Structure 1
Amino acid sequence: MCSMSENPEKVNLQDLTFRELTEFVGTLGATANQATELWRCLYRRFQTDFDDMTGLGASLQGRLSESARFTVLELLEEAVSADGLTTKVLFRLEDGKTIEAALMLFNNQGNGRERRTVCVSSQVGCPIGCRFCATGQQGFERNLSPGEIVAQLLYFIRRLENESVRAETTEPHYKATNVVFMGMGEPLANYENVRSAIDIIGSPKGLNMGLRQITLSTAGMVPEIQRLARENVPCQLALSLHAATDELRQQLVPLTRKYPLQELIAACREYSAQTRRHVYIEYALFNGINDSPEDADKLIELLGQGDFPINLIPCNITPGKNGFGPSPVEKAHAFQKRLIAGGIRAMLRVSRGSDIDAGCGQLKSRCQDNR
């Protein structure tokens, strides 16, 4: 998949922001124009072999081959949903650890806009330990580097580009339109590397994804939410809430013991005030656990009117997750209507890829179980 040396001293170009890459190739005698050309090779032509980067000049190509490398992701398993709209993959990293990523296609979204959204992981495993999440049940192993994060997006971009070529179309259907940090791991627990990955993904000289195209989902790390606001990181922020009381949320999301809801929601309000961007609420509906009319009323009281758009998502069924099942459709609609009546903008989303274990960590768990 890519050209690489086993020399661990080589610099991984996909770990570098544009500024860092410019500084690095400057030490090799490259000009600023050559640095820009190299960036385009990586993030507009999606090349992974220095021999193909003819616009750099033979001398720089040779120096890069001696001192630089790329991220390697090995495809282990792939699953495609019956409707063809969701593709889930399991990658093996260079150290043998495994992560998941997914591609979700959304056609004709009412405004005629099609979306091709890539869901990326930010860690191997997850330190949060949410009871309903397959990744949370696996524990935490390590953070992903910026290059390992970006490589997941590049894999699907290349895949879409190849499908476009095979379809003999001149339309740029290959382009991924959105990226969401909603895969394995807690992105804000890997703040520096995720921040660098967002810089790379958003670079106007490369992938050029804007803040409305990048969404970061967190279980609620208050200091890091405040830091996102201070640094004005160009992304949309989503909060995985799932409960309207500390008592229930502590059972679902152990991080609540450290950051109670009042503190967390206050940080989100502060984030919105500083960035002038909404914090989107993700609320997985679990049958008989958090989907009653009383739960809806408590959610209205917690969030107030009009401050936080809510995405309601019937949960994926994960084997061994102690009875967490999705709310029936009628119950989910009733919950949504109660929120709307209470002045909250609530969207009921369809759970994607349930027939292929597309919930976070499920493909990895299945692969481990089959060994």
Structure 2
Amino acid sequence: MTLTKIAIPLSRKGIRRRTRPPLVRACAAAILVVAWAAASTPATAAPAGPSDATNLERCQAYPEPDYWTPDMTATINGTESWNHVVRFLGPGEAIRIAALPSSRVKNTRWPWDSGYGPNGDGIAAGPEFPAPGVSRYGLVGGVQGDLRLMGVGPTCYVNTTGVLQGFQLTVNDGEQGDNSEGFVVTIVTFKDPEPGCPVLGTSIGDQCPAYYDRRGYDPAYALKRCKNNSYGEREVTADFGVDKGFEPVRVTLFPGESFRVDALDAGWSLAPVPGYGGGPGDSGTSTPTIKVGSWPWDGSYTPDGAGVDHPAPEGWPAPYLPQYGLIGTWEGQSGYFWVGAHGGCLQWAGARPVTLALTMNDNNIGDNEGVWWLRVRLYSPDPLPPE
């Protein structure tokens, strides 16, 4: 199960202030070309197999049933950029969208109007809007040619196509650049439990590790401390850059652990980097950026990359996420998720340990120059020792 609480910000002017990052214009936000199918709650889904029905039923019943599904949990602050809401659904996986009714979008320039809630203004949008025929200024989701009104919800969707699909949220506004504030959205995704692993709260079979039997096991405890940016049980500081051959930063997570990644100033480097300073206690003046392309280079970027107005095209490691930014993946699984310079909290909820790999969203990373200094804090779900 994935639980994501996020605000969708809507102001281009926030790029300079770093308080209200923008949405990508609809033409950029809608370039996902993967197919997807959806069923609403109460839903009549397309023909679905047993696992489809199971995940849809879980979605519709949330949060009543007691079950455990291997996935990650992400919590992103309201000022984070829209790309955090990108979610990829495997075959049979379901997603639940619910927006805070009191959250609003102000869709004119200062002094702005009173704004609209996730249901929009109730007037059918014209052809210049991302979702023509759908309520203007409301919360919409989907891909190109199939953006639908999400509204306040909650609404459940299930992937019935048999292939990996992409899902994205935006505001149904043909001119997003003059907007402010945003919608606060909670997203929950539902997967099948791993084979041989019963639901949380039941006896653990021989095929599953004994992590869930530990006294005091509480994934919510780990996530709460991560969101508060408390000190974790473990902390890894690593350089990502030319001195390491741009090898991914790898960290092992155990079931239920949460983590957060932050980009650090030069003085926090684990070890001095030739030509860039750094080292413990070294205040340094160098900026933690990576130059891309051959000399004299095509630009210099922090882990936030080129920004949401410059999504990576097909053929890059993470299409539709910002070019040259910091991305992550669970090794052995497909797809990347956004991290950036100050990523939100993610939680690994699989039944076995996993390796987190952090890298740069660049289709030719070998000709780059520079370094990022990264700190990964890890939070245990088990604050109490075994009895």
Higher relative contact order (CA 8 A, sep 6+): 2
Q: Which has the higher strand share?
A: 2
TM-score norm. by structure 2 comes to 0.25
Higher helix share: 1
